[in-house]
Amino acid sequence: MSFPLKKYFMKSLFLSLFLVLGTIAFAAPKNSPVAINGKLRVIGTQLSNTDGQPVVLRGASLGWHNLWPRFYNKSAVKWLATDWKCSVVRAAMGLEIEDNYRENPEFAMQCMTPVIEAAIKNGIYVIIDFHAHKKYTAEAKKFFTQMATKYGMYPNVIYEIWNEPDYFEWAEVKAYSEELIKTIRAIDPDNIILVGNPHWDQDLHLVAADPILNATNIMYTMHFYAATHEKWLRDRTDAAIAQGIPVFVSECGGSEASGDGRLGTKEWHEYVAWMESRKISWAAWSVSDKNETCSMLLPRASAKGNWTNDLLKPWGRLVRETLVELNK
């Protein structure tokens, strides 16, 4: 073999070996949710796996990154994946309150990056949540351009482009969402995008009357807190699904809507049974240690997992029990 041919052969061999080793390095662990289901897609109103079979993701949402940054680490994510059996985690990047993404984007990325990459490493799905109540279009476009560029090749990634557009009309939320969908799709053509709607993600009837057109693999979020939101919200969601609206419960709790007050254990089980019967995916709020009902951990709980039952508040124990039972 001549020297130029030998050099070309060795270069090609090295490149092939690099690609193979890279694939192995980033392959989802055997029997993990991502290894089993692969790239997700929406078929009709159903979240489905790469083979077109229905998928139900169940997991937990971290609290605001700028309030509980200590839980934004790879060890906590691994614990949620292995001990809690989460098939999805939600990283809630705060746009409001102090030290938020708008004021301190570097710190936000220091929090979000280990969570996203630990989810990928552990073979679970991750919701990259733009956790805002007000509208920040420029910031959202910049952020999701970065996220899609860096992580869009991974099947683990789900984009939540506006957590809760509380006091906006659907026409404005829709226009924002169409702009963000276009931004993401220019880079990532097919990972799931979650779209919010007015009044704490509960106005799905408005979405059903005027849905986003010409967009694939999008779902609309619904949020509930079981001790407050009664059967009317389930009925409204059922009606939207019947009209062709795919729904993902990206945030839910067993407390009252304030995040505090009574823990509605009975109502939580009613909601879970309803979600299971409709094959609706969900993430429970929140992995945090605030002195309120919907926070799952006591302040003395470690930042890195290894949470025994005595470190879990009643809501944390209820969520873990539900996940372990359903994500067998």
Taking the C-alpha atoms of residue 62 and residue 77, their distance in angstroms, rounded to an integer, is 9
Question: What pLDDT, on the 0 to 100 scale, is given for residue 50?
Answer: 97
Taking the C-alpha atoms of residue 270 and residue 154, their distance in angstroms, rounded to an integer, is 34
Question: What pLDDT, on the 0 to 100 scale, is given for residue 26?
Answer: 63
CB 66 within 8 A of CB 291: no
Close Cβ partners of 91 (under 8 Å, ≥ 6 residues apart): 62, 65, 72, 111, 112, 115, 116, 126, 127, 128, 129
Question: What pLDDT, on the 0 to 100 scale, is given for residue 18?
Answer: 35
What residue spans define the domains of the chain?
42-326
Tell whether the model's pLDDT for residue 197 goes beyond 70. yes
User: Catalytic one among 251, 256, 292, 325?
Assistant: 251
Please give the average per-residue pLDDT across 40-45, as a whole number.
98
Instruction: Grade residue 328 by pLDDT with cuts at 50, 70 and 90.
Output: confident
Average pLDDT, the chain: 93
pLDDT in tens, 93-124: 999 999 999 999 999 999 999 999 999 999 99
> Residues 156, 200, 188, CA angle at the centre, nearest 5°?
25
Question: What pLDDT, on the 0 to 100 scale, is given for residue 112?
Answer: 98
Location of structure tokens 């279009």: 137
With pLDDT > 90 as the criterion, what percentage of the chain qualifies?
91
Please give the average per-residue pLDDT across 263-268, as a whole number.
98
Taking the C-alpha atoms of residue 295 and residue 292, their distance in angstroms, rounded to an integer, is 6
Active site residue 164: yes
Taking the C-alpha atoms of residue 249 and residue 240, their distance in angstroms, rounded to an integer, is 13
Active site residue 139: no
User: Catalytic one among 160, 164, 256, 267?
Assistant: 164
Neighbours of 305 (CB within 10 A): 20
With pLDDT > 70 as the criterion, what percentage of the chain qualifies?
92
Taking the C-alpha atoms of residue 67 and residue 181, their distance in angstroms, rounded to an integer, is 28
Question: What pLDDT, on the 0 to 100 scale, is given for residue 9?
Answer: 39
> Domain 42-326 falls in which CATH fold?
TIM Barrel (3.20.20)
pLDDT in tens, 205-216: 999 999 999 999
Instruction: Grade residue 295 by pLDDT with cuts at 50, 70 and 90.
Output: very high
pLDDT in tens, 65-91: 999 999 999 999 999 999 999 999 999
